[in-house]
Structure 1
């Protein structure tokens, strides 16, 4: 089975009650599966042009999304995809480029190289983003396709069939 389809199927199979009716409901399912707290909130402090962000903290995870996002569930599904597909998160130098002013990029890059922090290749980052976007598409499509079913188990079975 495709890893993206498998991750979505696993998430939906573990959903309880009405959790599988929305991406926000499935956040609770992901918490249970991973046995790790996960919060989701709108944030007006994200860098310009950033739709959403996953923060992997020591004792919990956070998903933030910008207030101007047209489809918050899709953005949260994308970040949830990164988490459930086991992605390592954003490389440090990429985070620097997205958060620090441009005039600091060179000195920050130099400091990171001195500390042995190297970025993975652009192709690898593109693959991770494609996978997370594939997860979001699969998850949102299944939720929309099985939205009338009453139970999480029925939704899961319908989603498997779809």
Structure 2
């Protein structure tokens, strides 16, 4: 089993009751695994082309998602992948550069300079995005394929078999 499938299996194995019946139902599972709160919130102010965004705060995790996302479970699952696969996330400089209009880049660079955030290598970033996307796809596939099983443990075993 690869690292992505293993991470999905581990998440589903920790689910209790009906938590694994939906992607958003897994929020309490992730909170237990990480020992910290996880909040998922709709945010109409995300930049163009940003479906969802994970913010890793010192005391909690936060996932913001755009209200127009067509496949919300997949977008949230993608962010769960970043969280559970140990990704550090994209630097604030890079996020600003990718999401803000070009005329705002200078202001964003000036405001973020004090945080001293560096740029992560393109290869690492590409690999992390591929892993998160694979995680989201696998999670959605397993949840939809095992919806009839009542027990989280049975769902987990059935998902591994699938």
Q: Which residue of 2 aligns with 1:135?
A: 135
Kept in 2: contact 1:53–1:65 (CA 8 A):
yes
Kept in 1: contact 2:37–2:60 (CA 8 A):
yes
1:110 Cα deviation from its structure 2 partner: 7.7
Count matched residues: 162
Kept in 1: contact 2:52–2:63 (CA 8 A):
yes
1:100 Cα deviation from its structure 2 partner: 4.3
Q: Which residue of 2 aligns with 1:22?
A: 22
Matches within 5 A, 1:94-105: 94-105=94-105
Deviations 1:107-157 (A, max 9, x none): 755887897543122222111110000000111110011111111011001
Point out where structure 1 has 5 or more consecutive residues left out of the alignment. Answer: none
Q: Which residue of 1 aligns with 2:147?
A: 147
**SS at 1:40 equivalent:** strand
Q: Which residue of 2 aligns with 1:78?
A: 78
Kept in 2: contact 1:93–1:109 (CA 8 A):
yes
**RMSD (Å), alpha carbons:** 2.0
Distance of aligned partners of 1:154 and 1:125 in 2 relative to their CA distance in 1, 3 Å threshold: same
C-alpha separation between the residues in 1 aligned to 2:124 and 2:42?
A: 28
**SS at 2:89 equivalent:** coil
C-alpha separation between the residues in 2 aligned to 1:42 and 1:59?
A: 20
Kept in 2: contact 1:112–1:118 (CA 8 A):
no
Answer with 90-99 or 23-32: which moved more.
Answer: 90-99
Deviations 1:77-113 (A, max 9, x none): 0001000000001113212214544134357558878
**SS at 2:58 equivalent:** coil
Matches within 5 A, 1:43-122: 43-106=43-106, 109=109, 117-122=117-122
Please report the TM-score for the alignment, with normalisation by the length of structure 1: 0.91
Distance of aligned partners of 1:21 and 1:103 in 2 relative to their CA distance in 1, 3 Å threshold: same
Answer with 63-72 or 88-97: which moved more.
Answer: 88-97
1:7 Cα deviation from its structure 2 partner: 0.6
Answer with 62-71 or 112-121: which moved more.
Answer: 112-121
Q: Which runs of 4+ in 1 moved over 4 A?
A: 106-116
